Structure 1
Amino acid sequence: MRRPRLLFVCHRFPYPPKRGGKIRPFNILRHLQQRADVTVASLVRSPEEAAEAQGIAGHCSEFLLARIGPAAALGRMLWRLPTATPSSLGNFYSPELARLIRQRARETPFDLAFVHCSSAAQYVLPLTGLPKVLDFGDMDSEKWSDYAKWRRFPLSAGYWLEGRKLRREEARLAAAVELATCTTRAELASLEALGTARATGWFPNGVDAEFFSPADDYDPDTICFAGRMDYFPNQQAVHWLVGEILPRIRRRRPGARLLVVGAEPPAAIRRYASDPGVEVTGTVPDVRPYVRSAALSLAPLRIARGTQNKILESAAMAVPVVTTRCAAGGVDMRPGEHILVADDADGLAAAALELLADPGRRAELAAAARARVLSHHAWTASMRRLDALLDRHFPGLLPAAGGAGA
């Protein structure tokens, strides 16, 4: 029996899966390859990323790759500013990738298209007669609206307008596909509030708990924040952490030190390293040794959509997490039992001090968090939810993983 042919399109090339926007699509496509012959189509931004992308060959049947330069992306974003089309779509549009997808669809017709992220849907909507799944992941319109609340004019107005444009685009896209999915129950509520989707569902982000395994030793005075530093919500969190939360911790624990781990920190973040108790690492080959060395992960995010991988990864490594309510809402963990939650500097500092002062409480929370990750955020469990959605809405289209036709 011929294996089904599946077109998988995403906004960032999903290999290597070493940043948030790549981890979910990589695990999805790797799973779908067990049920179909998957053609991956996506973008790269540099020759280095193009070289790294070749490693995906072992996880799919074939891949289509187009490079988009910063000048072209900026031009396409600016061109959309005075239009009703979201400017952010221009950042992820390549005429070359669109051409490659059309050509491949003519040569070997696909049985199903699976798109990750609304920015990539523009490549598959013109393919008429092809059933489509759109995994929004996070509802990006909500994120842009959150940005508007924390930025000054005129940036706040720009973010607000982009959020409005994206909300209309999300409604249009949800109506245009057979199935629309996202990462959490909260994101699902936002998706269903559009009122246009034919069918909806959600399946969570997961974590590789073997790769992110625990270590025995840690520094009882070290606090870690891990995340890409070219991302505004992470920058905002670090400014709050260093400016208000860390001083409160040091009043009772003067030896407390902070690790800020993540690629491309701007100058304003790098300057914090002038404090002898703050280390800003920049790009590191592997974040795990840094996170494992810490007594806790502190993630004071004020803007957080979907699932924060930094929380799942820390929990998998049995490093307890202190975070905000909005960030904790994207993971299936109970505050006080698996994770500590507060929304102001005093509360976040108090939660961190509780763990720094009480190794027994730290060990209890760490063990509970890792157990919760294993039971509720393993990729195998997430992919079972995805399989159930696909089998319900496209019965008989895909064989079971490892089953007939595989």
Structure 2
Amino acid sequence: MRILQLTPQFPWPTHQGTTLRNFNILKGLARGHELHLFSMLGPGDDPAAGPVSGLVASLAASPQPRRTMGARLRDLLLSPQPDMARRLWSPAAFQGLARFAREIDPDILLIEGIEMAPYFFAMREAGVPTGRAIYDAHNAETLLQQRAARADLRRPARWPAALYSAIQMLKLRRYEARLVRSVAGVAAVSERDAHFLRTLGPETRLEVVTNGVDIALYRPDESFPPVFHRPGPHLLFTGKMDFRPNVDAALWFANEVLPRLRGMGAPAHFWVVGRSPHARLKALRGRDDVTVTGEVPDVRPYIVQADVYVAPLLAGGGTRFKILEALVLAKPVVSTTLGADGIPVVDGEHLALADAPDVFARRVAELLAHEAKARAMGRRGRAFVAAQFDWSVIIPRMESLFQALA
């Protein structure tokens, strides 16, 4: 099949969940199909760098547009479209995409995330060939905003953010419903997301195509130079640190869980590792029990050398790469129930689940105190991910969606 994949940022390097999914889907599909890529380019993105150009039949790109805060505020108040639908729209980019698509005449248009949906709608309205359009829903965005609003409502200082999420939730529900009903098929990353998206478009074909990991790249026994320069034990949380659910998770763990750990006689150092730390995380920089690293070239050394990986997420959606990466590296994991949502893990078997701060602290302390138990849990977690979440298992699910619509 001739596939035209639309991505909101260049899928290399794979420095966050979006690029991890987009690159591995690209690589997997390119093995058996004629794959063409149209990508928006973020700051620093270089289409000539990395392996992408060697995997695709052709490639076109356009720089991401810049939106001022004033424009975002105006759209928040006046536009019926959600912020995510306005974020990457560029008339110049659309003209380039239209020319590219006419040359390719694709069998499949693969829309990677809701930010690229405006280009699909514009293509359809302009008579640009799309073939059968597939929406790869990286999140059920309405659910994500709903969860964010509920989390923020519990804290008066976060009520402005809760109001923003509530407004976006209403706009997103209408927009997501229109999108799901307009495409030929939808790929959802979890059963929970799939259930919600089916309510928006019950007639649209839907397949669960989870996130995954390339098992060959994640070896627990691989040796790395030391990355931790503070005394341990080391607790690790990774992710894109300007993403609100990650920011909230890091602050909640540092302020609610770490003090309880100290009170249990289990002091530890908390490492927050990931690009673009939000200004709200500056409050952690003066603490001697927390380090915010910013972007690192590779998260694997941090996971391998950590004692326990924590996923204290209070909002969000989908299937989280961070947990899959920690599990496949045989690291003991403590997560909130929401953090592990979409991954059919068994509490106490593959990882430990905890939602209240005191319970979360106790589960971490137990793993720190019982190394053999922690190692055994890590081994079971790796075996679980290797069996169900390697990309070689996942890509055929996307292909089955294509075939069902042929």
Same fold? TM cut 0.5: yes
1:148-227 alignment, distance < 5 Å: 148-151=149-152, 152-215=158-221, 221-227=233-239
Alignment match, 1:78: 74
Q: Does structure 2 conserve the Cα–Cα contact (< 8 Å) formed by 1:113 and 1:131?
A: yes
Q: 1:227 to 1:221 in 2, by over 3 A?
A: same
Identify which of 296, 318, 338 aligns with 2:350.
338
Q: 1:37 to 1:191 in 2, by over 3 A?
A: same
Give the structure-2-normalised TM-score.
Answer: 0.90
Identify which of 96, 111, 115 aligns with 1:115.
111
Q: 1:304 to 1:87 in 2, by over 3 A?
A: closer
Letter in 1 for 2:148: Y
CA distance in 1, matches of 2:280, 2:389: 34
CA distance in 1, matches of 2:180, 2:234: 45
Q: Residue deviations 1:174-204, cap 9 Å, x none? A: 1111111110111100111114442111111
CA distance in 2, matches of 1:179, 1:88: 21
Identify which of 359, 367, 374 aligns with 2:386.
374
Q: Does structure 1 conserve the Cα–Cα contact (< 8 Å) formed by 2:65 and 2:90?
A: no
SS of residue in 1 equivalent to 2:137: strand
Q: Does structure 2 conserve the Cα–Cα contact (< 8 Å) formed by 1:258 and 1:278?
A: yes
Q: What displacement does 1:76 show?
A: 6.5
CA distance in 2, matches of 1:51, 1:175: 33
Q: Does structure 1 conserve the Cα–Cα contact (< 8 Å) formed by 2:189 and 2:318?
A: yes
Q: Residue deviations 1:116-175, cap 9 Å, x none? A: 112212212324562111111211111112222233344322221211111111111111
CA distance in 2, matches of 1:324, 1:107: 48
Q: 1:153 to 1:352 in 2, by over 3 A?
A: closer
CA distance in 1, matches of 2:65, 2:346: 43
Q: Residue deviations 1:102-123, cap 9 Å, x none? A: 1122233222211111221221
Counterpart check, 1:233 vs 2:252: no
Alignment match, 1:398: none
Letter in 1 for 2:142: S
Letter in 1 for 2:151: W
| Unaligned stretches of 5+ residues in structure 2 | 153-157
Q: 1:286 to 1:86 in 2, by over 3 A?
A: same
Q: Residue deviations 1:59-116, cap 9 Å, x none? A: 2111111112433697377346412222221112122221111112223322221111
Q: Residue deviations 1:289-338, cap 9 Å, x none? A: 11211111011100020011110001111111100111112213211110
CA distance in 1, matches of 2:380, 2:70: 45
Give the structure-1-normalised TM-score.
Answer: 0.90
- Larger mean CA deviation between 327-336 and 72-81 belongs to 72-81
Q: Does structure 2 conserve the Cα–Cα contact (< 8 Å) formed by 1:144 and 1:163?
A: yes
Q: What displacement does 1:12 show?
A: 2.4
Alignment match, 2:318: 306
SS of residue in 2 equivalent to 1:163: helix
- Larger mean CA deviation between 307-316 and 75-84 belongs to 75-84
Q: Does structure 1 conserve the Cα–Cα contact (< 8 Å) formed by 2:207 and 2:397?
A: no
Identify which of 40, 64, 69 aligns with 1:68.
64
Identify which of 255, 272, 277 aligns with 1:265.
277
CA distance in 2, matches of 1:45, 1:17: 13
Alignment match, 1:42: 39
Alignment match, 2:299: 287
Letter in 2 for 1:147: A
CA distance in 1, matches of 2:329, 2:138: 24
- Larger mean CA deviation between 104-113 and 172-181 belongs to 104-113
Q: 1:43 to 1:326 in 2, by over 3 A?
A: same
Identify which of 322, 326, 329 aligns with 2:334.
322
Q: 1:164 to 1:252 in 2, by over 3 A?
A: same
Q: 1:53 to 1:168 in 2, by over 3 A?
A: farther
Q: Does structure 1 conserve the Cα–Cα contact (< 8 Å) formed by 2:84 and 2:114?
A: no
CA distance in 2, matches of 1:63, 1:77: 34
CA distance in 2, matches of 1:77, 1:202: 35
Alignment match, 2:85: 89
Q: What displacement does 1:27 show?
A: 1.1
Aligned length: 390
| Unaligned stretches of 5+ residues in structure 1 | 395-406
- Larger mean CA deviation between 86-95 and 252-261 belongs to 252-261
The Cα RMSD (Å) is 2.2
Q: Does structure 2 conserve the Cα–Cα contact (< 8 Å) formed by 1:81 and 1:87?
A: no
SS of residue in 2 equivalent to 1:328: coil
Q: Does structure 2 conserve the Cα–Cα contact (< 8 Å) formed by 1:73 and 1:92?
A: no
Letter in 1 for 2:293: T
- Larger mean CA deviation between 264-273 and 128-137 belongs to 264-273
